[in-house]
Amino acid sequence: MLPVIFGLSGPCLTVDEQSFFKEGNPAGYILFARNVENPQQLRALTDSLRDLAGRDDLPILIDQEGGRIARLGPSHWRAWPAAATLAGLSDSPALADLDRAIARVQCNYEALGLELAAMGINVTCAPVLDVPQPDAHGIIGDRAFAQTPDIVAKLGRACLVGLQLAGVAGVIKHIPGHGRALSDSHESLPRVTASELELAVDCAPFTELADASIAMTAHVIFEAWDAEHCASVSATVIQEQIRQRIGFDGLLISDDLDMKALAGDISDRASAVLAAGCDIALNCWGRLDDMTGIAEQVPAMTPEVAERLARACAPLRVAQPSAALNARIEELLARRESLA
C-alpha cells in the first residue's frame, strides 16, 4: 500500500485512474467540489472507490468544517456554521454558556457526520485546533472555535465526539499550530518567531486531544524548533514536538503537497514529508502525472504506519441514506438550535 492519500480529477473515476489506483493501492482518497454533483453521483463515486480498493473501511476524506470551508453545500446538502459562529462564546464565557456550547458543537458535528456517512464519506478534516492570534493572517479566523486554548480544546473534543457517534473520524489540524502565521501557507511559507513559551499556547489544544486518531501537519516554520524547515518536513518538529512533547501517536497526514509553502517538485515534496516522519503524504489535485511520479518515488507503507492506519479506520462506518437517518439529523439540529 502507498503511504499517500490522492485526489480525483472529476465526478467519476476515469479508466486511467481506475487502473492506476488499482495497481498503486493508495491509503485513501480526498474529495473536493470538482468531484461532487449530487447525492446519487457522490454515493456512487465513494462506492466505486471502496469496490476498487476492496476495503469497506477505506478512508475517504473531505474538507467539511462548516462556514467558508465546506465542499458540500446547498442545494443538495445543508449549510453548516463556521466553528466560531457555532461556538458563539466570548473569550471568558460563563460555565453554563460553555456547557451549552459543548453540547451544541457535539450535536452539530454528529449531524454533519451523519450527512457525510450517507454519502459514503468517513473522514472530515476538522476540527481546527489552531489558536488564532490578533495579528495573524486571516486564513484561520472563524475556522477556530475560540481565542483561548482551553476552550478550543473543549470544543474540539466535542466535535470529535459528535463525528465519532456518526461513524466518522475527525482530523485535528494544523498540528502543532497555525494560529500565529502571518501568511497563508497555500500562498507562501509562514515563519513564526514566537518563543518556546509562547508556542506552548499553540500546542495546548493538540496536547489535550493527542488521543485523536488522525492529525494534519502545518506547513509553517517555527524558528524556536527548526529555523530551516516547516513542520511538515522537519524531523525535529515531528519527532520532538508532535510525537514526544504533544504526545500524538495517531496517523499523521501532511497538509496538501501542492501548497506554495513547500518547495521542489511534487514527488520530492512527498518524499520529504514521509522522510521527516509524516505517515501519509496528502496530494489533493488529482493530476495523474503527479500521482504517477509520487507512486514511483515514495517507499511502501511501513508496518508501523499500517498499524496506525488500521487503528484510525477501525471505527469508521458508512450509512445508507434513509428517512430515519434524515430524521435523526433534523432531531440533532433542533437540539443544536435549542442550545443557542
- 186 is known as an active-site residue: yes
pLDDT of the residue at 138: 83
pLDDT of the residue at 136: 83
- 255 is known as an active-site residue: yes
| DSSP annotation string for 143-164 | GSS-SSHHHHHHHHHHHHHHHH
Q: Report the pLDDT averaged over residues 241-250.
A: 98
131 Cβ contact partners less than 8 Å away, ≥ 6 residues apart: 144, 146, 147, 148, 149, 152, 177, 179, 201, 202, 204, 205
Q: Report the pLDDT averaged over residues 261-270.
A: 95
Query: How far is it, in rounded angstroms, from Cα 231 to Cα 229?
Result: 6
Residue 95: burial class (beta carbons within 10 Å; 0-12, 13-18, 19+) = exposed
207 pLDDT more than 80: yes
Q: Report the pLDDT averaged over residues 300-320.
A: 97
Which residue has cell 446547498?
74
Give the SS3 label for residue 31: strand
Number of domains, the chain: 1
pLDDT of the residue at 170: 98
User: Of 63, 142, 255, 256, which residue is the catalytic one?
Assistant: 255
pLDDT of the residue at 96: 82
- Contact at 8 Å (CB) between 163 and 169? yes
Which residue segment(s) compose the domain that 221 sits in?
2-338
pLDDT of the residue at 237: 98
Rg of the chain on CA atoms, in Å: 19
Total-model pTM: 0.96
Query: How far is it, in rounded angstroms, from Cα 195 to Cα 216?
Result: 22
Which conformational region is residue 234 in: left (phi greater than 0), alpha (psi within -120 to 50 degrees), or beta?
Answer: beta
* pLDDT tens, residue by residue, 220-229: 999 999 999 9
102 pLDDT more than 90: yes
User: Of 16, 51, 99, 186, which residue is the catalytic one?
Assistant: 186
Alpha carbon separation from 201 to 107, 121, 178, 219, 296 (Å, rounded): 27, 33, 11, 18, 40
Q: Report the pLDDT averaged over residues 158-169.
A: 98
The 10 Å Cβ neighbour count of residue 108 is 25
CATH number at residue 303: 3.20.20.300
Q: Report the pLDDT averaged over residues 118-140.
A: 94
Mean pLDDT of the chain: 96
* pLDDT tens, residue by residue, 48-99: 999 999 999 999 999 999 999 999 999 999 999 999 999 998 777 888 899 9
- Which cell is 158 given? 466535542
246-264 burial, b if ≥16 CB within 10 A, otherwise e?
A: bebebbbbbbbbbbebbee
pLDDT of the residue at 182: 85
Give the SS3 label for residue 288: helix
pLDDT of the residue at 225: 98
Query: How far is it, in rounded angstroms, from Cα 50 to Cα 153?
Result: 33
pLDDT of the residue at 63: 98
